[in-house]
A and B are shown apart, each in its own frame.
Chain A
Amino acid sequence: DIQMTQSPSSLSASVGDRVTITCQASQDISNSLNWYQQKPGKAPKLVIYDASNLETGVPSRFSGSGSGTVFTFTISSLQPKDIATYYCQQYDNLPYTFGQGTKLEIK
């Protein structure tokens, strides 16, 4: 199975800060990576697909980049509504696997 490792596990930042989360795959997955946002008690929501494509309706302050084994997810200017746990997920090989999540909090 492909292991996905996210860092950091938690992150505290101020409103307006630039926030970056890293996801590392245990093998080359090309750009077969998605990012999800999950708020407490809610279902996950797709934010970025194919490593760098913004899902329809998602604000442009969210972005993704990377290819191969290292990927980044960035919020350019953190807003209070962005407080959530973020997960990366690979679809290069079954089983689909997720990172352990990054819990984002407001400082």
Chain B
Amino acid sequence: EVQLVESGGGLVKPGGSLRLSCAASGFTFSSYSMNWVRHTPGKGLEWVSCISSSSSYIYYAESVKGRFTVSRDNAKNSVYLQMNSLRAEDTAVYYCARLGGLGASAFDNWGQGTMVTVSS
């Protein structure tokens, strides 16, 4: 059974930093691109970042470019999101999601999410 478990969320002041982790199990982690997607009640779902299976390709949403850094450790079956210079508008539930499906083009498995709150 595919499992994705996020951790590392919490309350942080504007301008602060946080590192999210996502531990994967139940599949060959090193064969899949992994993504971070966030959800807010007001804006819905927003894709944040994608990292390819071997870390060769990394992409970010414009809203986080230059502030967030995605990485992965295939030996530890984990993907990370380092978030710096946090803003109030980064407040959201953050999900890691596997890019899978027949064409490796759908978020076919998601973690349970971790809440990030940016507030003074």
Contact = CB atoms under 8 A, between A and B. Distances in A.
B82 to A, nearest CB: 19
B46 to A, nearest CB: 7
A46 B44 CA distance: 16
Which of A85, A96, A101: most chain B CB closer than 10 A?
Answer: A96
B101 interface: yes
Interface stretch (B11-19, B73-81, B103-111): B103-111
A38 to B, nearest CB: 8
A44 interface: yes
A43 B103 CA distance: 22
B85 interface: no
Interface string A5-36: 00000000000000000000000000010101
B44 to A, nearest CB: 4
A45 B110 contact: yes
Contacts of A45: 110
Given A94-B59, A98-B45, A32 B107 contact: no
Interface of A: 32, 34, 36, 38, 43-46, 49-50, 53, 55, 85, 87, 89, 91, 94-101
Given A32-B105, A43-B111, 10 more contacts: A34-B105, A44-B107, A46-B106, A49-B101, A50-B101, A87-B44, A89-B45, A97-B47, A98-B45, A99-B44
